[in-house]
Chain A
Amino acid sequence: MNAVKILIADDHDIVRKGLRVLIEEHPGWVVCAEARSGREAVEKTVQLTPDVLVIDVSMPDLNGLDATRQVRKLCPRTEVLVITHHDSDEIAGAVLDAGARGYVLKSDSDRDLVQAVEALSRHKPFFTARVTEIFLANRGSREADPAKSLHNRLTTREREILQLLAEGKSAKEVASLLGIATKTCDTHRTNIMRKLNVHSIAELVRYAIRNKVVEP
């Protein structure tokens, strides 16, 4: 049997190290690479096509959820396991919406993580009992949330730009980071502000923080 290739994405050195040790203790599993941002995670996933991507939610440049969306689109064979310290119903729903098929809290046990990677490597979903309860309790009510549906109206590129702007980058910096023209970036920004019904960068930042696109 071939080894299961796993990519670890977290911006904290210590967390990556802990995950690596845990994964490498398991026979037949190899960590093929590590990433420190969502963007790096997407790049390395495309390049190395791991079986499982283990990814944190709060990361610089591109958050884990938007990175998950891109990975699911670009590498549908790679399963995504989201790990987070956010113990909130809202995040649990967003994780599923992004296309991840596994979700483990950082405070869950090591055994949960191992079981999650095991399930995902066989293309089976994994959620702890507590998370499953949250999903069931929220079924139906999530679509009714106006903020959520508003957020869903943004395209992947627009959400990406929203995060970079909210992190304090200028339109010019965003454009060069994404390899697009400054003018294109300006158009995106105008569209984002129109769709979210905000009228200044300050409001945009506030929106991004409230909806957990970036950390406060």
Chain B
Amino acid sequence: MIHRIYNDPALRSNRVYTVMNSATPARIMLSDDHSFVRRGLRNLLESTDQYEICGEASDGNQTLELARALRPDIVILDISMPSPNGLEVARQLHESLPEIKVLVLTMHDSAEMLRAAVAAGASGYLLKSDDEKLLINALQCLRTGRHFVSPSFDAGLARQLFQ
């Protein structure tokens, strides 16, 4: 991994921080059966230079196939999708390609679904009703090896799930 060392003038100190090199965009794959959602995501992510969309899938099998072929850094994955659903896709990805991070993006505002997604191996859980800015935060977290749970959930629950 390439690191860049720089001085953050905003902190008005001489401490040196290491950050991930942001020159290489992360490769993102989109998986959602709704074309408007994929289009919205593509538009949002392509407006930054941090991310590039390497592929789009509209059902579970296609997602697994494409992920195996493309090896993206992160898959943005819907849960309610035809054959097999997003949870099953997350489980299979986690088993066979654990280096690919999964960010679940769903309309299911339920703690049960969150638990199930984390159990299936997802590293992040975001709601479609969340502000789109949070998507960038979530991707940034996953990229740097951290987890992300939508602020709509209790922070205690989120911490407990990833312990």
Contact = CB atoms under 8 A, between A and B. Distances in A.
Chain B residues touching A, range: 20 to 34
Interface stretch (B7-15, B95-103, B126-134): B126-134
Interface stretch (B19-27, B32-40, B67-75, B117-125): B32-40
B35 A14 contact: no
B39 A21 contact: yes
Given A17-B132, A85-B34, A12 B39 contact: no
B85 interface: no
Contacts of B62: none
B83 interface: no
Interface in A16-46: 16-19, 21-22
B129 A19 contact: no
Contact of B40 (A11, A15, A107): A15
Nearest to A85: B34
Contact of B39 (A13, A83, A108, A110): A110
30 contacts: A11-B129, A12-B37, A13-B132, A14-B37, A14-B41, A14-B105, A14-B132, A14-B135, A15-B34, A17-B39, A18-B34, A18-B35, A18-B37, A18-B38, A18-B39, A18-B43, A19-B40, A22-B39, A85-B34, A85-B107, A106-B34, A106-B35, A106-B36, A106-B37, A107-B33, A107-B34, A107-B35, A108-B35, A110-B39, A113-B36
Interface of B: 33-41, 43-44, 58, 80, 105, 107, 128-132, 135
Given A106-B33, A113-B36, 8 more contacts: A14-B40, A14-B128, A18-B39, A18-B43, A22-B36, A85-B107, A106-B35, A106-B36
